[in-house]
A and B are shown apart, each in its own frame.
Chain A
Amino acid sequence: MNIHSTPKLTAAETALIDAFGERFSELPGDATVAVKRDDAVEALKAGLPTRRVEAWHYTDLRRLLTNVPGYDSTLAARAKPALLAGSTVLPVLNGVSGAGASIDGATVTRLVDKLLDGSFAPALGPREPADTVGALNTAFVADGYFIDIAAGAEIAAPIEIQNVQAGGQTHSRFPVRVGQGAKATIVERQTGAGNALTSSISHLTLGEDAELLWIIVQDQPDGATCLSQFNAELAKGSRLTLFFMNAGSKLVRQEIRVRMPGEGADFKLRGINLLSGDTHCDVTMMLDHLAENTTSTEIVRNVANGAAKGVFQGQIKVAKDAQKTDAKMACNTLLLSDEAEFSTKPELEIFADDVACGHGATVTEIDRNHLFYLMARGIDEKTARGLLVKAFVAEIIEELEDEATVEVLEGILDDWFAEHV
């Protein structure tokens, strides 16, 4: 924390600011949106965060963000088949939403319309000075979907948000409102081709007693940069399971921000990071227990190979009024190569006394006893290791109840192992 001087802007910073100058007139939105964009760019001009900003301690964005391709409307991205059979797919291709689908019990609106009429402006803007993803996205956001699920609706078919890149720069938002007592599954895919720069922000408001499973699968190509944010607010008695799997990109920053102001709400986070090559993948969770009897469990499993660097920051805050909170977090990592690295910062900030909170973090090798057991049964070491590493992450997937979903996700796992381990 030495002398503060205004730093010279990096090439990436300059490229972003220039891009804004060029794109500004084409970006959708009324005056209120324009003001938000302007403010956001001012924030970016102060420079991208370095590791001195605590929230970015392990991800020096200023140094790591080097890939800033321009926006290119001529690039074509093609929609993919749904991850889970029978899903309703809502594609955003190279940053542009499709016509929107009709779903029983839900209304889907293109986000561009909500920017144009200004109704989405209040949700824009960085949440705090360190919210660089929020600032970047606010400056450039052009489209996405707003999904509104009616109270009491039980939507059996998963709704898939398919954010497909073609190599340029795209910025999208996905607000989702789930009415009281409703039930649904949402799949968010961050995928595509080319070395795109993506920022993608979703906002979930979960009504009282609603139940939602949200699955994020990120498998962008090796050169891509994926900056994303998942925001959720959980009302009384609601239950959210967030499952994520990162299996691609060169630079990933995935922020998960969950607030639980409703009594008795429950949050489960299950995540898998499959890291290879020279990926830098940072998952940062900020969880606020704000009401009584709220519960949460978070399990993140990481496998790092090659020269990959992984980061998990998990902050659990328990407010003074959130008595009887029960929160448990675990982050377990296997490093498979000499050059792989993993850093973790599990954090507890607790102001209520009647709580049971805990976290555990391990970075280990494969359990030698298990390895011995398998080898004693005649399995060669390499195969045995492979089995054990895969089992280490597959455990998380198997917790999901739906068999078809488990099968699809294990398929991704198998593909990744086949290619990278």
Chain B
Amino acid sequence: MPAVQETIEQVRNIDVDQYKYGFESFIEMDKAPKGLSEETIRFISAKKGEPDWMLEWRLGAFRRWLTLEEPTWARVHYPKIDFQDIYYYAAPKSTPGPTSLGDVDPEILKVYEKLGIPLKEQEILAGVQKPTDDGEASDNVYKSGRVAVDAVFDSVSVVTTFRAELAKAGVLFMSMSEAIKEHPEIVRKYLGSVVPTTDNYYATLNSAVFTDGSFVFIPKGVRCPMELSTYFRINEKNTGQFERTLIIAEEGAYVSYLEGCTAPQRDENQLHAAVVELVALDDAEIKYSTVQNWYPGDKDGKGGIYNFVTKRGDCRGDRSKISWTQVETGSAITWKYPSCILRGDDSRGEFYSIAVSNGYQQVDSGTKMIHLGKNTSSRIISKGISAGHSNNTYRGQVSVNRRATNARNFTNCDSLLIGNDCGAHTVPYIEVKNSSAQVEHEATTSKISDDQKFYVMQRGIPEEEAIALIVNGFVKDVIQELPMEFAVEAQKLIGISLEGSVG
């Protein structure tokens, strides 16, 4: 609850420079030659010391990619990306791959310190902050001491915390590069089984050139003892980040996973094309939360990250559950549809989203709920807020297959417009092929009501804060789905993102 107050504080304290993670760090990097070719892919694979099957997998994807065309159906506009003008691999010379904390370049550790991401386990444990009596939490989820972090810096994971602790519980948590070497049998079994290399333009590109990401495996019956998270940092210029995350929850397992990201403030656009695959077996549950805060570009729309992401969860087992919660405030362009394939009987998919756009940001995001099994259910709550000159689109699909008896879906998408130069759009696709389905979709678009604003201001709350307050009320249903510390951070971010939108 105090988060609203903090949002207001934050809005008040920040003046010109809204994006507080825009700093650049000068760290000597080892890079692949610029451009994309089979050579580049061989280079990446060799750097990572990958087995042959992995290289072949990548090359297959690359050859496929060459035959594809960039999709144009999303409501986003940007100049053609020159895929030859990008570095596909950039790793700190000092820390070319995952290592133990003591061996990580102190300069890199400084970056994470500055971002507020603690990596030193001892300190984290010593600094566990107890929530204050009115429920006030520490300002940052990573400092709460309950989170293991995989820190990905440009193309490589530099360190993964709490690995040993987790291993005791049987949980595998490490970078993807390590997993390929240490657990090839699991990786081979699941990699590409949810998002095949042929899936779509960006996913195929990712399959060819992905450099790192996180790997999580929760064995049968294990409830992961702490939150797991990955923090992505793009640092190097002209570099694309292509991460690949794979999370597997075996029968009856549970894991809550968080993802955060930031990038320096630059005039050039940078590409981030990730693939995330989740697999939930019988009775397993995966909760995946994202606070996306890539650099959004400046107030004139210059610079910013192009965020083209394929995230998909496969509820493969009966009674399995996958839940996506996202707070999208960053990126110049967001193209992202975290989806659930409800294959197992009685499986459940959830999607909770807040997408805030301001300045010249363009968001095209939503979800797909594909009902295949019997008694499957899904729930979609999406809150879009557009301000400035931005465009914010919800695009979603609910599809009930012929065999999916007794499928249930409830969808609610609300959009809020702040100012008259932005756009809010809703494009749901609803496809029902089974007569026992119950599918309900509702959507609204409106502005903040003048009546509400007047009422709040009458109590002495200034306009900008009044709006932040009402907006926080608007997104409450989704914020509630986030782990508590993450929720606090998310509310702050929303306030910051809307800074300057009241004219």
Residues of chain A having any CB pair with chain B under 8 Å:
1-4, 54, 57-58, 320, 323, 333, 335-365
Are B444 and A335 closer than 8 Å at their CB atoms? no
Q: Shortest beta-carbon distance, A328 to chain B, in Å? A: 9
Are A358 and B438 in contact (CB-based, < 8 A)? no
B425: nearest chain-A partner, CB-CB? A349
User: What distance in Å separates the Cβ of A117 from its nearest Cβ neighbour in chain B?
Assistant: 43
Between-chain CB contacts (< 8 Å), 27 pairs: A1-B68, A2-B68, A4-B69, A320-B420, A335-B432, A337-B435, A338-B435, A340-B435, A342-B431, A342-B432, A347-B426, A347-B427, A352-B420, A353-B418, A353-B419, A353-B422, A358-B444, A360-B440, A361-B439, A361-B441, A361-B442, A362-B439, A362-B440, A363-B430, A363-B432, A363-B439, A365-B435
Known contacts: A1-B71, A335-B437. The answer to whether A357 contacts B446 by CB under 8 A is yes
Interface centre among A320, A341, A353, A362 (most CB of B within 10 A): A353
A57 touches B429 (CB 8 A): yes
Q: Which residues of A contact B425 (CB under 8 A)?
A: 347-350
Report the tally of A-B residue pairs with Cβ distances under 8 A: 125
Task: Assess the B442–A353 pair: CB atoms within 8 A.
Answer: no
CB distance from A334 to the nearest CB of B (A): 8
Q: Which of B436-482 contact A (CB under 8 A)?
A: 436-447
Taking a contact as CB atoms under 8 Å apart, the answer to whether A361 and B428 are in contact is yes
- Given contacts A355-B446, A359-B443, is CB(A350)–CB(B427) below 8 Å? no
- Interface size (B, Cβ < 8 Å)? 41
Whether B422 lies near A359 (C-beta < 8 A) is no
The A-contacting residues of B in range 64-103, CB under 8 angstroms, are: 67-69, 71-73
**Interface pair A365/B428, CB less than 8 Å apart:** no
Chain B residues with CB under 8 Å of A355's CB are: 417, 445-447
B441 & A343 in contact (Cβ 8 Å cutoff) = no
Chain B residues, CB < 8 A from A350: 415, 417, 423-425, 445
Main secondary structure of the interface of B (DSSP, over half): strand
- Nearest chain-A residue to B442 (Cβ)? A360
Complex: how many Å from CA A320 to CA B420? 7
Return the chain B residue nearest A318 by Cβ. B445
Bound form: Cα–Cα A323–B434 in Å: 40
Instruction: Report the separation of the CA atoms of residues A350 and B422 in the bound assembly, to the nearest whole angstrom.
Output: 8
Q: Do A343 and B446 contact each other (CB < 8 Å), given the known contacts A336-B435, A349-B423, A362-B440?
A: no
Complex CA–CA separation, A363 to B419 (angstroms): 35
Chain B's nearest CB lies how many Å from the CB of A369? 13
Q: Is the CB of A348 within 8 A of B426?
A: yes
Contacts A353-B447, A359-B442; A343 near B430 (Cβ below 8 A):
yes
Name B200's closest neighbour in chain A (CB-CB): A1
* CA gap between A354 and B447 in the complex, in Å: 6
Tell me if B438 and A346 are in contact (CB < 8 A). Answer: no
**CB <8 Å contact, B441 and A360:** yes
Complex Cα spacing A355 to B428, Å:
20
Q: A323-B420, A358-B445 are in contact. List 12 more A-B contacts (CB 8 A).
A: A333-B432, A341-B431, A341-B433, A345-B428, A347-B425, A350-B423, A353-B422, A355-B445, A357-B445, A359-B442, A361-B439, A361-B442
B443 touching A358, Cβ below 8 Å: yes
> Which residues of chain A are near B423, meaning CB under 8 Å?
349-351
Partner of A346, one of B201, B419, B441: B441
Q: B406: nearest residue on chain A (CB-CB)?
A: A365
B361 smallest CB distance to A (angstroms): 16
Q: Is the CB of A346 within 8 A of B417?
A: no
Report yes or no: B431 in contact with A346, Cβ–Cβ below 8 A: no
Chain B residues in 8 Å Cβ range of A358: 442-445
Flag B155-170 by CB within 8 Å of A: 1 or 0 each.
0000000000000000
Q: A348-B445, A350-B425 are in contact. Are A1 and B437 (CB under 8 A)?
A: no
Q: Nearest-CB distance from B445 to chain A (Å)?
A: 4
Nearest 3 Cβ contacts at the A-B interface: A335-B435, A353-B417, A358-B444
8 Å CB contact of A344 from B415, B419, B430: B430
When the two chains form their complex, are residues A345 and B429 in contact, meaning their CB atoms are under 8 A apart? yes
Q: Which residues of A contact B402 (CB under 8 A)?
A: 338-339
Residue of A nearest to B418 (CB): A353
Output the nearest chain A residue to B441 by Cβ-Cβ distance. A361
Question: Which partner residue on chain B sits nearest A346 by CB separation?
Answer: B428
CB neighbours of B447 from chain A (8 A): 353-355
Binary CB contact string for chain B from 374 to 392 against chain A (1 if under 8 A, 0 otherwise): 0000000000000000000
Determine the distance from Cα of A231 to Cα of B484 in the docked complex, in whole angstroms.
Answer: 52
Question: Residue on A with the closest CB to B73?
Answer: A54
Question: In the complex, what's the smallest C-beta–C-beta distance from B404 to chain A, in angstroms?
Answer: 12
Chain A minimum-CB-distance residue to B69: A1
Residues of B within 8 A of A347 (CB): 425-428
Q: Which residues of B contact A343 (CB under 8 A)?
A: 429-432
Min CB gap A330→B, angstroms = 9
Most chain B CB inside 10 Å of its own CB: which residue of A336, A337, A348: A348
Contact with A along B119-146 (1 / 0, CB 8 A): 0000000000000000000000000000
